[in-house]
């Protein structure tokens, strides 16, 4: 590794982490000012606020913006190099533009690797502690209950429908269990009321009736005024969730949850799949935005660093804008989640290729 490489890598990393530190201080200040009343009103200790919330809030907020930080950092220090005509000196000495980009790419892949580990393992673990605190004291409205018209698969050929469910006592009305064989209904169990027996881990059905179909003949039984205790693969936890559940799961947990949802026929698997593919796609965004930042700031311009930074902020805003659109396409317009999450990289990767071709040689 040449002195030039070490120089660029040192500049990149120092500027990147300084940008992250500066933004973290600003984000914590704004967040604390917004939530201070809730901290005062709720029975929460200073230790919980500092260690459970803000210690994990820092990697969370940084994890959202590492690609943008890389773009800003590259534009900032590369513009200074261009202003001091250092880049011109490198290129006049016979260095190719590809060789000039090598330390940029090395550093961006290093950051992308760290970001990849963070996205799949470390960020979700920190988020679990932070968001558990947040859901309890800051945003209790994140708690959701599936309470009406619930359809769940409890087996490959077994389906449950529930008309109304109450989470406070795990009871409800309008229970229906259907079992199929080769797409033909073979068993039907209906109950007017039901409740979950936590000690026995069973469901108690009241005012029930059953229907069997054997060789085309129906066998009917009425349990009106009676109760039936049954154990099925259905639990109170299947009816409740937090809106930020996906951010609290490591990727391994996310994959298991996606499989569980698909087996149950729950309608959140597209959201979870999008989150999984986002964790793979965003680290590579660091590499793409690094190339873009180096390409637009390596040329000495009349507007100098200010113009380059303004252009970088605009590109970063467009990236965030397109990422949000991609998420909407994935969850609401039935676009393939993998394609949707990689769409911003495909668009900005094309831009990076074009800018590299047009960059100062």
pLDDT at 303: 57
Integer angstrom CA distances of residue 86 from 7, 35, 295: 12, 47, 15
Return the domain boundaries, the chain. 3-140+267-358, 145-238
CA angle 338, 129, 275 (to 5 degrees): 5
pLDDT at 1: 62
pLDDT at 266: 62
The whole-number mean pLDDT for each consecutive block of 10 residues of the chain, a chain of 361 residues, reads 87 96 96 93 92 96 93 92 79 83 96 97 96 91 85 88 92 94 90 94 94 88 92 88 90 91 72 93 96 86 72 85 85 84 94 84 60
**DSSP 8-state secondary structure symbol assigned to residue 244:** T
Q: Is 228 helix (H, G, I), strand (E, B) or coil?
A: strand
Whole-number Å distance between alpha carbons of 227 and 246: 38
Residue partners of 24: CB distance under 8 A and separation at least 6: 58, 61, 62
Strands 148-155 and 158-166: antiparallel
pTM of the model: 0.84
pLDDT at 19: 95
User: pLDDT of 226-250, one tens digit each?
Assistant: 999 999 988 898 888 888 899 999 9
CA-CA-CA-CA torsion for 179, 181, 187, 188, nearest 10 degrees?
A: 50
Helices (H), 179-334: 251-264, 269-297, 304-332
pLDDT at 60: 95
Residue with tokens 């969850």: 331
């Amino acid at each position: 590794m040449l002195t030039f490489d070490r120089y660029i890598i040192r500049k990149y990393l120092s500027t990147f982490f300084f940008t992250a530190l500066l933004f973290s201080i600003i984000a914590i200040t704004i967040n604390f000012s917004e939530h201070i009343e809730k901290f005062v009103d709720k029975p929460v200790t200073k230790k919980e606020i500092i260690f459970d919330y803000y210690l994990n809030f820092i990697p969370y907020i940084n994890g959202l913006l590492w690609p943008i930080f890389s773009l800003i950092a590259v534009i900032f220090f590369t513009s200074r190099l261009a202003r001091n005509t250092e880049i011109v000196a490198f290129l006049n000495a016979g260095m190719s533009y590809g060789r000039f980009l090598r330390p940029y790419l090395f550093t961006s892949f290093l950051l992308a690797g760290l970001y990849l580990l963070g996205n799949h393992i470390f960020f979700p673990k920190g988020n679990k502690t932070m968001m558990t605190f947040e859901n309890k004291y800051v945003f209790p409205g994140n708690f959701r209950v599936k309470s009406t018209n619930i359809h769940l698969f409890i087996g490959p050929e077994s389906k449950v429908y529930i008309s109304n469910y109450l989470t406070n006592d795990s009871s409800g009305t309008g229970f229906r269990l259907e079992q199929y064989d080769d797409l033909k209904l073979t068993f039907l169990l209906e109950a007017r009321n039901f409740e979950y027996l936590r000690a026995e881990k069973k469901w108690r059905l009241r005012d029930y009736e059953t229907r069997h179909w054997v060789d085309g003949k129906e066998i009917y039984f009425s349990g009106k005024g009676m109760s039936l205790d049954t154990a099925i693969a259905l639990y109170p936890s299947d009816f409740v969730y937090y809106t930020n559940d996906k951010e609290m799961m490591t990727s391994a947990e996310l994959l298991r949850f996606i499989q569980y949802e698909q087996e149950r026929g729950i309608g959140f698997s597209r959201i979870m799949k999008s989150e999984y593919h986002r964790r793979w796609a965003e680290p590579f965004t660091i590499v793409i935005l690094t190339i873009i930042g180096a390409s637009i700031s390596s040329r000495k311009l009349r507007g100098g660093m200010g113009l380059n930074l303004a252009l970088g902020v605009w590109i970063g805003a467009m990236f965030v804008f397109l990422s949000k659109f991609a998420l909407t396409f994935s969850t609401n317009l039935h676009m393939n989640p993998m394609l949707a999450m990689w769409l911003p990289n495909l668009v900005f990767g094309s831009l990076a290729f074009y800018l590299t071709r047009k960059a100062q040689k």
